[in-house]
Structure 1
Amino acid sequence: MKIEITGRRAEEAARSLLAIEGIEGSSETLDDPQKAEILTTIATIVAITGGAIAISEKLYQWYQKSQQEDSGKAIEQALIVTEDGRRLLLKNATIEQLKELLED
């Protein structure tokens, strides 16, 4: 599964995402941080441990927190893309939708 993170703090958001207990993976920034005001970073999640419900709640909380930092959006968008091509924007996602995506 990949999570595409777009925004001025995309790299920082990806690092905090991958620091969540139960999520293992790596990230890659597609834009040059020196030249781009809005970055796109891809977090590739290779392993999830601890159960779909717990990780879904942590993903939801991570996204909500990223929207509140500095009284402005740290990230513009976070999009989950599964290996079979399903997509889910975290902006309006519920914990239940995240759980269903992680369980498949």
Structure 2
Amino acid sequence: MTYVVTENCIRCKYTDCVEVCPVDCFHEGPNFLAIDPEECIDCTLCEPECPVDAIFSEDELPADQEHFLEINERLAQKWPVITAMKEPPDDAKEWEGVDGKLQYLEE
């Protein structure tokens, strides 16, 4: 099983989760983070660190977010690993809780 970054992360891209990951399975894109399912060890540490509740275990993914399992897998293959916390985008607060952000995902 793996953990999955979902739509709430788009344009918020808080990196609190990256700091606690013991296996460096997070990958960074322009405005989203992805978890490599091959690297994730299901340790549960990242989920409570996300300030916008964007991370779910694969088994607990909301039905409308299930496509993010494939998105994480695909993007983790092309984006670089991120291992340290960074400042969020300047407008991150404005994007918290906004629905329908998939159209803004920059690959």
TM-score of Structure 1 vs Structure 2, range by shorter chain: 0.3 to 0.5
Higher helix share: 1
Higher strand share: 1
**TM-score, scaled relative to structure 1:** 0.35
**TM-score, scaled relative to structure 2:** 0.34
Query: Which structure would you say has the larger RCO, counting Cα contacts within 8 Å and 6 or more residues apart?
Result: 2
Q: Highest Rg: 1 or 2?
A: 1
